[in-house]
Amino acid sequence: MATQKKFTINDGLRGWLLQQRRKTVTLDAMQAAFPHMRYEAFRETAAALETDGVLVPVKASGTDAGGLARKYTIHPGPLLAATATRIQHEAIALGIAGALDLSWYLTHPYDAWQQDRAAIESLSRWCKRLPCPPSALPKTSLQQRSYDIFGDEKYLLAHGELLPRLNLSRDALAIAPEADPLMMAFHPLAGSVHHHLIVENKAPWMALAPHLAETGFTSLVLGYGWKISASIDALPMQSGYPCDTHVAWYFGDFDWEGLRIWHELRAHAAVDVRLAVPFYAAFLAHPASIGKDAQAPAPEALDAFLAAMPDATRARFRETLVTGHYYPQEALTASELLACCKETLSDGT
């Protein structure tokens, strides 16, 4: 049995009972959690909890000298009544959208609601901004929808419990199934020079794949972070034109790792790897995200990146990274991605 955490008298027996995972508790365990509480005070508190129906004596366990049962069944409902009322009042004051079901929070300790409240507010605001129900939206990736709602493309991945707690399915938020797409979408074009677009993440791949024929690229490649580094040399052979010239335009997250990937790919001789500048320039029309603090700086990669960018944008890109911000690919809409495809080839060919 796990070691019980020690609580002071101020924490209260009621709060301690809410944290118990088992449906039964022994008198010894309760007393051990409050070693400095005088027995008379403890007995009065436990007896009051019996009267309230929170603690139901297990008769077969017997009683101690003060008449307390040696073992109890815990009924948390009465303990949570005040918490449920508090959460309901707060939800009304915050104007939480009716589409969000708060029932789970009404039957759990207050700190669960407190922990998720900011995210619930963000989700509520997003729901209210929609001109139609979320289920009528075009489906997109989990990462894209996470960025749309929270400004963080990884939030729903890191907090997978949030949607079930709110009784929300992925379909309700128009999130596409998570099956991995093929690594490459191919559209054969005439000529001896073939242009390929490599995107780092799944979201832009899914947004652009249906429109590949409109982009002018021979293929759309899903890089999957560093995985592309091990396989990019196979691009000429896999495209079916092993003897032709191949130019790969790279577009990734604007963060230290994204810059490292692009910088490393430039060393591969089989393909001419270039920076898809219009995609990065389009980031500047959006607010930068905060995070990626654990990534180590890559000054050489940043200098190479800035050398490829227009002079007027270099200071802003540098400031974005040095202040702990970044741009995820999910910041760009599908229409922006398509426009950037056409601009990339227009500028680079």
d(CA 276, CA 208): 15
Enter the pTM of the model: 0.72
Which pLDDT belongs to residue 349? 59
The span from the CA of 313 to the CA of 173, in Å, is: 35
Which secondary structure element, helix H or strand E, spans residue 26, and what is its range? strand 24-26
For the stretch 53-89, what's the b/e string if a residue is b when 16 or more beta carbons lie within 10 angstroms of its beta carbon? Answer: ebbebeeeeeeeeeebbebbebebeebbeebbeebee
Q: Which amino acid, 183?
A: M
The pLDDT of residue 111 is 86
Alpha helices in the chain (DSSP H): 13-18, 27-33, 39-51, 77-94, 103-106, 110-129, 142-150, 155-158, 162-165, 202-208, 212-215, 227-231, 235-239, 256-265, 277-283, 299-308, 311-322, 334-348
Q: Could you say which residues of the chain have pLDDT below 70? A: 1-11, 131-135, 179-182, 348-349
Q: Tell me what pLDDT residue 182 has.
A: 64
Asked if 165 and 116 touch (Cβ cutoff 8 Å), the reply is yes
The structural domains of the chain, ordered by start, are 9-75 (1.10.10), 78-173 (no CATH), 184-348 (3.40.50)
pLDDT confidence of residue 179: 66
> In Å, how far are 149, 275, 322 from 315, measured between CA atoms?
29, 18, 11
pLDDT at 11: 44
- The sign one gets for the Cα dihedral 322, 323, 328, 334 is negative
